[in-house]
């Protein structure tokens, strides 16, 4: 089994925005990522537009020929955007507007009615839904009950613990993935996955459909080049 690699291009937009011009060109980078083997493109348009802007999302839609994954907190403005653009997947994250990066999973049980209504709207539009969660069986079961198609496992805890004890670090994710599969959910994963820890994660975690990686991948590309970096990340996912 080989999981798909979705490249998060937010950091490319951050670099572009630093000069207020169009260098690097976000659209060209998205095209290049796919040409170099990426299975999808991920963006997270935040309200302050500090990296990917809402206008970017519309321009990306025609050039993303693989899978377009849009992450975000599902307020009404975000929902209008994704329902207009119709990506293949929307990943729901519980970010506050001023959050620097996605740093927590949903309390699905505590937000059940809200998430169920959002997921229903996505389903009506033919958009696959994924809920960003901790590797917690109860939250995963709640996501399934709410009608989600997938969960995305928040992997920061794995990345933090991996250098000291890889087997203990990955164990909760193995069980979480099994629980998701048993509940009929697809399994995505993301946050702080890197060339250092991705191969072990992919080898250990069953039923893994997709990983979404941005920061580490773009940092590696500064040294290795984008094409070689994507090749190496894809190699980590083959087993």
Specify the DSSP class assigned to residue 147: T
In the CATH hierarchy, which fold is given to the domain comprising 4-237? Answer: TIM Barrel (3.20.20)
Q: Does position 100 have pLDDT exceeding 60, yes or no?
A: no
Contact residues for 228 (Cβ-Cβ < 8 A; gap 6+): none
* Cα separation, 154 vs 150, whole angstroms: 13
Residue 21: CB atoms within 10 Å: 9
Q: How many CA atoms lie within 13 A of 177 on its CB side?
A: 21
- Residue 91 tokens, joined: 């990943």
Q: Are 90 and 127 in contact (CB under 8 A)?
A: yes
Q: Where are the domains of the chain?
A: 4-237
144-188 pLDDT per residue, tens: 999 999 999 999 999 999 999 999 999 999 999 999 999 999 999
Is 215 a catalytic site residue?
A: no
H or E element in which residue 213 lies: strand 208-213
pTM of the model: 0.95
What's the DSSP call for residue 15? H
How does pLDDT run across 6-18, given as a tens digit for each residue? Answer: 999 999 999 999 9
- Cβ neighbourhood burial of 18 (10 Å; 0-12, 13-18, 19+): exposed
Task: Please indicate whether residue 239 is annotated as part of the active site.
Answer: no
Which of 103-107, 115-119, 157-161 shows the lowest per-residue confidence on average (mean pLDDT)?
A: 103-107
71 has catalytic annotation: yes
Average pLDDT over residues 79-85: 98
pLDDT value at position 104?
74
Distance CA 19, CA 147 (A): 42
pLDDT above 80: residue 98: no
Catalytic residue among 44, 51, 152, 210: 44
pLDDT at 95 over 80: no
Q: Which of 49, 116, 115, 57 is nearest to 81 (CA)?
A: 57
Q: How far apart are CA 132 and CA 44, in angstroms?
A: 13
Across the range 94-99, mean pLDDT stands at 70
Catalytic residue among 51, 67, 152, 191: 191
How would residue 239 be classed by pLDDT, with cut points 50, 70 and 90? confident
pLDDT band at 105 (very low <50, low <70, confident <90, very high): very high
**Upper half-sphere CA count for residue 231 (Cβ side, 13 Å):** 6
Residue 188 near residue 91, CB atoms below 8 Å: yes
pLDDT, one tens digit per residue, over 185-226 is 999 999 999 999 999 999 999 999 999 999 999 999 999 999
Q: For residues 219 and 200, what is the distance between their CA atoms, to the nearest angstrom?
A: 20
> Of these residues, 67, 71, 152, 210, which one is catalytic?
71
Q: Which residues of 99-112 are buried (b: 16+ CB within 10 A; e: fewer)?
A: eeebeebbebeebe
């Amino acid at each position: 089994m080989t999981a798909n690699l979705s490249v998060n291009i937010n950091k490319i937009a951050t670099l572009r925005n630093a000069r207020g011009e169009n260098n690097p060109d976000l659209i060209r980078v998205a095209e290049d990522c796919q040409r170099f083997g990426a299975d999808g493109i991920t963006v997270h348009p935040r309200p302050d537009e500090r990296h990917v802007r809402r206008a970017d999302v519309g321009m990306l839609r025609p050039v993303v020929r693989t899978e377009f994954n849009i992450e975000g907190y599902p307020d009404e403005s975000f929902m209008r955007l994704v329902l207009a653009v119709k990506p293949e997947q929307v990943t729901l994250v519980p970010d506050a507007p001023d959050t620097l990066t996605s740093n927590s999973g949903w309390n699905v049980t505590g937000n059940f009615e809200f998430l169920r209504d959002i997921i229903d709207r996505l389903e009506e539009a033919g958009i696959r839904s994924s809920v960003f969660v901790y590797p917690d069986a109860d939250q995963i079961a709640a996501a399934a009950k709410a009608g989600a198609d997938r969960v995305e496992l928040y992997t920061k805890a794995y990345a933090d613990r991996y250098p000291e004890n890889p087997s203990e670090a990955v164990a909760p994710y193995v069980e979480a993935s099994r629980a998701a599969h048993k509940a009929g959910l697809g399994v995505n994963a993301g946050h702080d996955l890197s060339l250092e820890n991705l191969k072990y994660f992919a080898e250990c975690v069953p039923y893994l459909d997709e990983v979404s990686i941005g920061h580490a991948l773009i940092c590696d590309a500064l040294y290795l080049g984008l094409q070689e970096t994507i090749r190496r990340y894809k190699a980590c996912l083959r087993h």
